[in-house]
Structure 1
Amino acid sequence: MKKSRFVFFTLIVTMFVLTACGSGGAVSTTINVVFTEFSFTPAKFIIPAGQEITITGTNEGAVVHEFVIMKLGQTVGDNFGDEDEVNIFWEVEVDSGATVSQTFIAPTEPGEYQIVCGTAGHFIAGMVGKLIVVADE
């Protein structure tokens, strides 16, 4: 009797372990963000390094907004401009009243990345945030 319970328990544990392993693909993480004049809500995001990330952005503002992730160690100076384009890691634009979902692969290097709205005047108006990338365990 004890042996059959042990075998049954072992089979159940094995089933759960194998199910947890899945197909070995990337973990998908979804970030939901709302844009208004002139803020992101929330303004801080923590994501795992190198994983697939889906951002769903809803623009409740009256104008177009952009969600721009700068490369690690890069920040916007006094105002977001053409000179900042080469320092962009990833970006998406969301029209007024629209909701957009897009997927990208998170940076592989842990650290703090600046997020800005690239629409003219929005950065200087305070539309900034931060993306914190943590080592995938």
Structure 2
Amino acid sequence: MRITQTLIVAAILAASTASFAHGDEKHTNANAPVKMEQKAWGIAGQPNAVKRTVEIGMTDNMRFTPDFIEVKQGETIKFVHVNNGKVMHEFVLGTKKELDEHAAMMKKFPGMEHDEPYMAHVAAGKKGEIIWSFNKVGEFDFACLLPGHYEAGMVGKIKVVAK
């Protein structure tokens, strides 16, 4: 019986560890519906509502280019993230408070997998994208929350102005 319990525990641990994998693969299922959840910084956008495309460069000097973007309230933006570096980077939209909390979690669980419509994980030399609707006025943030990247200053700002 002891061997069976050990195997069950090992299987549970293996499954839970696998769910924290943070590999180079795209983390979204193209066939899955987009999670439409209102956030302080907006809501997932629909491809047919895109008003403009903004390309954001990611580099191993831990910077985004551009690192400041201004949008109008109600505008839906398609962000195309281009990783010009040799390591994985990510783009996560949020408030400073939420990004700080998420960065702290990433330090505790560096392999944590997350798949939200306001996040893009981009392997070295690859592109990623998200579509986001900015339906609230305010100043919001974006960052790479991989351990060490956020602390090195891989952050940016989005200012949403009234129509």
TM bucket (normalised to shorter chain) is 0.5 to 0.7
Separation in structure 2 between the aligned mates of residue 75 and residue 89 of structure 1, nearest angstrom: 15
Matches for 1:62-81 after TM superposition, within 5 Å: 62-71=86-95, 74=97, 76-77=99-100, 80-81=103-104
Matched with 1:104 is 132
Q: How many residues align?
A: 107
Which residue number in structure 2 is paired with residue 13 of structure 1?
A: none
Flag the structure with higher strand content.
Answer: 1
Conserved 8 A contact 1:68-1:117: yes
Asked whether 1:51 is paired with 2:75, we answer: yes
The answer to whether the 8 Å contact 1:79/1:123 transfers is no
Query: 2 CA distance for matches of 1:117 and 1:26?
Result: 26
Indicate the RMSD between aligned Cα atoms, in angstroms: 2.7
Q: Which runs of 5+ in 1 are unaligned?
A: 1-24
Counterpart amino acid of residue 134 in structure 1: V
Q: 1:51 to 1:80 in 2, by over 3 A?
A: same
Give 3-state SS (helix, strand or coil) of 2:148's partner: coil
CA distance in 2, matches of 1:132, 1:104: 14
Specify the alignment match of 2:144 in structure 1.
Answer: 117
Please give the per-residue CA displacement for 1:26-67, whole angstroms capped at 9, x wherever unaligned.
451211110002000110011122222100111001111111
Q: Distance in 1 between matches of 2:117 and 2:71?
A: 15
- Secondary structure (helix, strand or coil) at the match of 2:85 reads coil
Matched to 2:59, the amino acid is T
User: What residue is the counterpart of 1:128 in the other structure?
Assistant: 155
Where in structure 2 are there 5+ consecutive unaligned residues? 1-47, 107-115
Structure 2 equivalent of residue 22 of structure 1: none
Q: 1:82 to 1:41 in 2, by over 3 A?
A: same
Q: 1:90 aligns with which of 118, 122, 135?
A: 118
Please give the secondary structure, in 2, of the residue aligned with 1:121: coil
What is the CA–CA distance in structure 2 between the aligned matches of 1:132 and 1:111, rounded to whole Å? Answer: 6
TM superposition score normalised by structure 2: 0.57
SS of match in other structure, 1:82: helix
Q: Measure the CA separation in 2 of the matches of 1:60 and 1:89.
A: 22
| Maintained 8 Å contact 2:142/2:155 | yes
Distance change >3 Å, CA 129–CA 119, structure 1 → 2: same
